[in-house]
Chains A and B, each alone.
Chain A
Amino acid sequence: MSAAGNGKIPELIANEAVTAVLKTQWDGEPAVRLDSPPGAGKTWVVERLAVQSMELHREQCMISTQTNEQAFDLARRLASGFPNRTFHLFVRKGLLLPDVLNGLPNLATIRSGNDLPVGPSVVISNAAKWSWIQNPPLFDLQIVDEAFQLPDYRFQQIAGLARRFVLVGDPGQIPPVVTCEIERWKCDRAGPHVACPKALTERHPGVRRLALPVSRRLVEDTVRFVQPAFYPDLPFTALSNNGGRRLRLTTPVSGRASADSALDLVAKGASLCMVELPAKITGEVDEEVAVTIVRMIERLFARRATMVEDGLTRNLDPSMIGIVCAHVSQVNAIRERLPANLSDVFVETSDRFQGLERQLMFVHHPLSGRADASTFHLAAGRLCVMMSRHRVACWLVGRTGISDRLLRHAPSGDRTLGIEEDSEFEGWRAHLSILRKLADERRIISVQPGN
């Protein structure tokens, strides 16, 4: 059993951390910033905070998410997890709800601000909707989910709705997207464009900061790669050790197709490996990478793979597989080649993959086939999202020559006066540490585009 730090088993450490977070509400902390690594059960904590606030403290609690999907997902988990407690989902008129929500008796949908529940209650909605509320009541607690994707000027518009706050989010992911010119606030570490937890801690250093030390999703082997590269100052371990989750390939392989050796590597217990095609500069759209990914998935089904997860064995199903890319054009190139029977495979860009997870993941490496590495492709957050979505295994697919493209890279990114973070360098360091570790542990398999 992989003991962490003080020798306790990860399950215990995880529960202790969650209890500590829940206890802050008993001390009445005005604001708590909870940094959580990928798959550490952020939503699990949000659920308990909400139920504790409603049931134990008899308070009015509001939850703000970034998008409607996240609000629906949270509402479904709360309503199905606590069948005999009522929860409220606050959405705009005419918004079509997914049918899975209509079947939940204890989930009430509110369409306008003045029929908000009075007395102890939990109301879920997205941040934009909350900011348009008319003459709102003063809630006792506001929980902000995926807080690192909320820019500070939007949080400011909903911060007046509650007395206390808990900001929960993953610091390693993609920062909030602000498209307009921000030259007026670039040097302000608590500027309106900054992620709200960072701005809050910058403005009030005294705010209570906690972290979830255990990732429920990632296996030990992946954490060994992801933690040093993306979370150098947020140490965490994996809940389940390598044995707990495995991919098994029942039928042996007839011919020796090299793509299969990558599948065998995972079957032997590796959770992260890279498939490299011959070096070539291809710009954004790379047909051969798309073809290789689709063929590997077909090989998985041809060899009748099964999934072992915490003692439960299931046959591999297309809905268990996800493919993430940096650009929409790459997503379309892959979708174009996916056969009809694999249409349930979820193919998306990294921005859209935030907050989701799949058993198996295929990653179109953002630097594959590029002539030079720009700040966009080097962004550590993008690669972190791509490499932390899988519960069992993840294959990086790209062209050879990425690491020496990195070694020949001169930092040309823009610097800001007085701001420490140099996102281009952090990204460059993360990319290089991942590739070096993969190479050191012989996790890189070169493949010919033909097979």
Chain B
Amino acid sequence: MNSSVDGRLARLRGSLPVDEPGARGFERVARNPDCTRLRALTIVGIDSATAAVQVYGEPAREGQSPFAIAIGNRFDRAMAENGAAELLELYRTAGRLTTEECKVVIVPDMVPIGSRRDLKHVMAVRQTITQKLLEQKLRRDPKAPNIIVKPRVLVTLLGLDHGIEPDVLVASDSDAFYRPVEIKSYPDRAGKTESADIRSASRQAAVGVVALRNIACRMGVRDVAALVPALGDLVLRIPGALKPTLRPMTLKGEVDSLERAIQEAPSNLEELEEMLPAGSALDDPLVLESIPNSYRSSCREYCALAQHCKQAAVANGDPVVLGDVARETLAAAGSISRALDLARGTGAPPRTPAEQALAEQLREAMNEYREAV
């Protein structure tokens, strides 16, 4: 089954290379289930940024500032330095690891990128090392490490293996298996922390949980949900310092929506192939445009196609341009111009009872507005 799926996916990709989405790209498959376009791109293995630039010819906008990348790298390195001393201290003060539980393995140190000839080989070696360590833990070997920095695990989506590198895996000797840790250089401001940051960090940790469940399943574990509960740790940064804070999180909602997306992927691939004319590929703008999207106000947060979808929504007067509440309320009217006709009583009279009620509602609001201004 695997080779045929690869062939089908490669055909759908056309001239575009396969992007390794990593956790950040992978969780997009569950982000907007109604948006078939984003889901198709993710299943086929194309990143939305690549699509925006290569297919729609939009200027590349998605990028992180070099200063943000610098602080991110420095914070990651500070956590892994000196045998992950900072992380050990963090988990000791939180009472999660005792002094004896200080077994650390730093995978990138064992297989640094520079030392080998090509990247594929390095990744394969890291995967093998991680596999051995996880097997060690499954055998409840006392020497199994408590902290693994930057392991590499596979998540299969439609037979296509995506390499996922959770920042850290942590487990005390008494834990049955590891728990993924997501390290983010966002400042931890308790209640004032950006909710969009928490959401994306929790989703990426959830990809870690799904990856661990995937590899546990390959290692013959039957009840993966019991072995790897939907839990993860967020390590954020104390504002203004390079010191970490530990926030354990339950990820039931995020893991559940991810697993549902993976489960539906095969049927999505069939749908996609039925929807497109034979032999067409996603690198052709017309084909991509023909796949239905579902533009929401939250798309700007994670998808590079948001600008393009907005222009399309404006072009055909889709009420979502005025926000999600407008989209739902004006659903009966279908478009902004129709809604305005109903409000003013111009144009075709209301056809359905729903349009009748909406017309009445809008007319009433229009009069109140005119009177009051």
A residues at B contact (CB < 8 Å): 182-187, 280-285, 287-288, 370-372, 407-418, 420, 422, 424-425, 428-429
Of the A-B pairs whose beta carbons lie under 8 Å apart in the complex, a sample of 22, sorted by A's number, is A182-B191, A280-B354, A283-B328, A283-B329, A283-B358, A285-B357, A408-B34, A410-B33, A410-B257, A412-B199, A414-B198, A415-B195, A415-B249, A416-B191, A416-B198, A417-B198, A417-B236, A417-B247, A417-B249, A418-B249, A422-B252, A425-B253
Contact pick for B33, options A186, A409, A413, CB 8 Å: A409
Is residue B283 within 8 Å, beta carbon to beta carbon, of the partner chain? no
Is residue B298 within 8 Å, beta carbon to beta carbon, of the partner chain? yes
Is residue B103 within 8 Å, beta carbon to beta carbon, of the partner chain? no
Contact: B353 with A183, CB < 8 Å? no
Smallest beta-carbon distance A295→chain B, Å: 15
When C-beta atoms are compared, the residue in chain A nearest to B231 turns out to be: A420
Contact: A425 with B252, CB < 8 Å? yes
Given contacts A280-B354, A417-B193, contact A411 B253 (CB under 8 A): yes
Smallest beta-carbon distance B201→chain A, Å: 9
Contact: B192 with A183, CB < 8 Å? yes
Measured between beta carbons, the chain A residues less than 8 angstroms from B329 are 283-284
B316-359 interface with A by 8 A CB criterion: 324, 327-329, 331-332, 353-354, 357-358
Given contacts A371-B327, A425-B252, contact A412 B298 (CB under 8 A): yes
Task: Give 4 nearest A-B pairs by CB, closest first.
Answer: A186-B191, A425-B253, A411-B253, A408-B33
When C-beta atoms are compared, the residue in chain A nearest to B252 turns out to be: A425
Contact pick for A371, options B202, B234, B331, CB 8 Å: B331
Contact: B253 with A183, CB < 8 Å? no
Q: Give Cα distance in the complex from A409 to B32, angstroms.
A: 8
Contact pick for A282, options B34, B188, B195, B354, CB 8 Å: B354
Q: Interface residues of B: mostly helix, strand, loop or mixed?
A: helix
Told that A287-B354, A370-B328, A422-B252 touch, could you supply 6 new A-B pairs with CB distance under 8 A?
Answer: A284-B329, A408-B34, A411-B253, A415-B195, A422-B253, A428-B253
Q: Give Cα distance in the complex from A371 to B252, angstroms.
A: 24
Given contacts A410-B33, A422-B250, contact A287 B328 (CB under 8 A): no
Measured between beta carbons, the chain A residues less than 8 angstroms from B31 are 410
Contact: B234 with A417, CB < 8 Å? yes
Q: Interface residues of A: mostly helix, strand, loop or mixed?
A: loop
Contact: B331 with A283, CB < 8 Å? yes
Q: How many residues of B are counted as interface, with CB atoms below 8 angstroms from the partner's CB atoms?
A: 39
Is residue B248 within 8 Å, beta carbon to beta carbon, of the partner chain? yes
Measured between beta carbons, the chain A residues less than 8 angstroms from B257 are 409-411
Q: Give Cα distance in the complex from A230 to B177, angstroms.
A: 30
Q: Give Cα distance in the complex from A86 to B254, angstroms.
A: 56
B228-272 interface with A by 8 A CB criterion: 234, 236, 247-250, 252-254, 256-257, 260
Q: Give Cα distance in the complex from A368 to B256, angstroms.
A: 23
Measured between beta carbons, the chain A residues less than 8 angstroms from B315 are none
Which of B30, B253, B328: most chain A CB closer than 10 A? Answer: B253
Is residue B190 within 8 Å, beta carbon to beta carbon, of the partner chain? yes
Contact pick for A413, options B236, B253, B327, CB 8 Å: B253
Smallest beta-carbon distance A284→chain B, Å: 8
Smallest beta-carbon distance B41→chain A, Å: 16
Q: Give Cα distance in the complex from A428 to B248, angstroms.
A: 22
Q: Give Cα distance in the complex from A223 to B260, angstroms.
A: 29
B121-135 interface with A by 8 A CB criterion: none
Contact pick for B256, options A415, A417, A425, CB 8 Å: A425
When C-beta atoms are compared, the residue in chain A nearest to B34 turns out to be: A408
Q: Give Cα distance in the complex from A425 to B202, angstroms.
A: 14
Smallest beta-carbon distance A185→chain B, Å: 7
Smallest beta-carbon distance B298→chain A, Å: 6
Given contacts A408-B33, A409-B33, contact A424 B253 (CB under 8 A): yes
When C-beta atoms are compared, the residue in chain B nearest to A181 turns out to be: B191
Q: Give Cα distance in the complex from A187 to B247, angstroms.
A: 11
Smallest beta-carbon distance A289→chain B, Å: 12
Contact pick for A372, options B249, B260, B324, CB 8 Å: B324
Contact: B188 with A417, CB < 8 Å? yes
When C-beta atoms are compared, the residue in chain B nearest to A374 turns out to be: B324
Smallest beta-carbon distance A22→chain B, Å: 37
Measured between beta carbons, the chain A residues less than 8 angstroms from B260 are 407
Measured between beta carbons, the chain A residues less than 8 angstroms from B328 are 281, 283, 370-372
Smallest beta-carbon distance B59→chain A, Å: 28
Smallest beta-carbon distance B305→chain A, Å: 16
Q: Give Cα distance in the complex from A416 to B199, angstroms.
A: 9
When C-beta atoms are compared, the residue in chain A nearest to B33 turns out to be: A408
Smallest beta-carbon distance B170→chain A, Å: 16
Contact pick for A185, options B191, B252, B296, CB 8 Å: B191
Contact: A415 with B198, CB < 8 Å? yes
Smallest beta-carbon distance B367→chain A, Å: 18
